[in-house]
């Protein structure tokens, strides 16, 4: 009986180790973000999306439009980046900025274009990328990107008087097939244009609520004195990307946390295995 118990314990330990290794391999295959342990790689990473490149690189053809600042290192092609300034095919996804029957003000449009340039073209979102499911056009998204308070205030001020019918532009619209059958376009949900109100009203006259809600949590507003992203830096003057330093610091912190968590797991596993080994030795002494 004691030999049988000893054998059973050894089998359980082996089975547990195999299961843990298999789960680790499955997680690695299904979620690349969980396995990135290099800060440089994390700081220069393209989102996995329909319009995104596999990896960042220069786009010398990106010479016009609001995304021009990303031409030295971009996750979007020159074609995509150049078309992001078009109200007719916003982000090449037939996303209508004029869904309330009136075009957004010019300055408000510029801020939304800047936010989409960041989403489509920036190689600096790695620390804030998360895996998502249920979307045909992407398997990852950015969440909680730190946005400077002053940037949020300026964006909100530019758009407060413009019209919309939903506070969350990622999930609030109804999508209908276009007349030419080429795809779908966003329209106001049940109630149609009767639901249109000023963006200020939709967000209770709160800039922070607007910035954090309009793209479903993509941004998190933080004080200007802390590391935070800017949206309005990409211009024809081609000044250096101010968000790169923020991303590099966040990448180092995230990778350090990655190693710390794995070290904790290994320490716990070592303690368990050591305890099991002692138990096996004791059983051996008793049995023999």
pLDDT tens by residue, 57-70 = 999 999 988 899 99
pLDDT tens by residue, 74-112 = 999 999 998 886 554 454 456 888 999 999 999 999 999
Helix (H) or strand (E) holding 252: helix 243-287
218 is a domain residue:
yes
3 is a domain residue:
no
Q: Give 11's contacts (C-beta < 8 A, 6+ positions apart).
A: none
CA atoms 122, 162, 201, 197: torsion sign: negative
**Which residues span the domain enclosing 253?**
29-276
pLDDT at 173 > cutoff 90: yes
85 is a domain residue:
yes
Asked if residue 81 lies in contact with residue 67, where contact means CB atoms within 8 angstroms, the answer is yes
20 is a domain residue:
no
149 is a domain residue:
yes
For residue 92 the two structure tokens come to 């090449």
21 is a domain residue:
no
19 is a domain residue:
no
At 58 the pLDDT is 96
221 is a domain residue:
yes
Count of structural domains within the chain = 1
**pLDDT band at residue 150, thresholds of 50, 70 and 90?**
very high
Residues forming a β-bridge with 197 = 164
């Amino acid at each position: 009986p004691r030999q049988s118990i000893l054998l059973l314990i050894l089998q359980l330990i082996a089975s547990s180790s195999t299961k843990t290794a298999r789960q680790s391999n499955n997680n690695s295959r299904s979620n690349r973000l969980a396995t990135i342990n290099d800060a440089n790689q994390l700081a220069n990473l393209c989102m996995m999306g329909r319009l995104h490149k596999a990896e960042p690189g220069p786009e010398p053809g990106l010479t016009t439009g609001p995304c021009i600042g990303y031409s030295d290192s971009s996750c979007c092609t020159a074609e995509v980046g150049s078309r992001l300034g078009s109200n007719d095919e916003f982000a090449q996804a037939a996303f209508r900025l004029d869904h309330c029957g009136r075009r957004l003000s010019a300055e408000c449009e510029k801020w939304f274009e800047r936010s989409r340039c960041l989403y489509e073209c920036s190689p600096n979102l790695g620390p804030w990328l998360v895996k998502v499911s249920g979307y045909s056009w992407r398997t990852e998204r950015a969440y909680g990107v730190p946005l400077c308070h002053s940037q949020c205030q300026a964006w909100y001020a530019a758009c407060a008087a413009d019209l919309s019918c939903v506070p969350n532009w990622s999930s609030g619209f109804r999508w209908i097939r276009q007349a030419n059958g080429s795809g779908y376009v966003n329209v106001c949900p049940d109630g149609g244009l009767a639901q249109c109100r000023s963006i200020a009203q939709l967000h209770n006259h709160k800039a922070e609520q607007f910035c954090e809600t309009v793209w479903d949590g993509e941004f998190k507003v933080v004080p200007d004195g802390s590391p935070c992203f800017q949206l309005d830096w990409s211009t024809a003057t081609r000044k250096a990307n101010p968000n790169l330093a923020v991303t590099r610091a966040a990448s180092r912190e995230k990778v350090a946390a990655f190693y710390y968590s794995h070290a904790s797991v290994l320490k716990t596993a070592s303690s368990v295995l050591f305890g099991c080994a002692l138990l096996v030795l004791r059983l051996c002494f008793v049995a023999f």
